[in-house]
Structure 1
């Protein structure tokens, strides 16, 4: 019998959990988890998936596409309008690397802690 697992949470390392959680909360419209603090913060998606952010001493942001400090994970978010989503996320504090492998279909951005994530055409 195969083991069945359901993804329950994704946790990203960072230097400032509350700031990174605030970025993603503004981007998604989801509210903070009531027990969020300076060591661990997060929110729960409508489907029950928890996204958390944990403080790590001497955090080193990944670099993309350069692998000097490799990305260990990235998130993809479906959006209706790539240009509008990119504009709004940049205003919230996201970064946009120069290297964009398929800008017509998705955009690679970085959150304020340096984690790459993509917005993809829904």
Structure 2
């Protein structure tokens, strides 16, 4: 049985699409889509296979306040890494944030992108 649907994109709301796309480009190695602009930017794999990650401008965007529920996280991305400490250090140097509360820091880390979206790094 073939799948009914194939995931083609994941899009995050933010205030500055190009800035957030540049962050994720640096950490994933994905390539910018040639039609990115100030209102929408996206990244894709070089071979075009797999979903794109999109970033769309939303006026008055309020970043998630994870783990506080005032502004829910809305969604989060998870990335496999070879070494948690090394990946965390690189991501923090690139502009990621690290919330004080970590649910299981020995197994995974919760970080936030420059727009405040939580994402996880997990030994994969």
Whole-angstrom CA distance in 2 between matches of 1:119 and 1:2: 31
- Alignment gaps of 5+ in structure 2: none
| Count of aligned positions | 122
Whole-angstrom CA distance in 1 between matches of 2:28 and 2:115: 17
- Alignment gaps of 5+ in structure 1: none
TM-score by length of 2: 0.94
Deviation per CA, 1:37-86: give whole Å up to 9, x if none.
10000111364211000000000000110010001100000000000000
Distance 1:3 1:26, change over 3 A: closer
TM-score by length of 1: 0.95
Distance 1:39 1:121, change over 3 A: same
Give the 3-state SS of the residue equivalent to 2:43 in structure 1: strand
Aligned match of 1:17:
17
Aligned match of 1:48:
50
Asked whether 1:117 is paired with 2:101, we answer no
Structure 1 stretches (4+) deviating beyond 2 angstroms? none
Query: Which 10-residue stretch deviates more, 9-18 or 43-52?
Result: 43-52
Whole-angstrom CA distance in 2 between matches of 1:89 and 1:42: 19
Kindly state the Cα deviation for residue 30 of structure 1 after the two structures are TM-superposed. 1.6
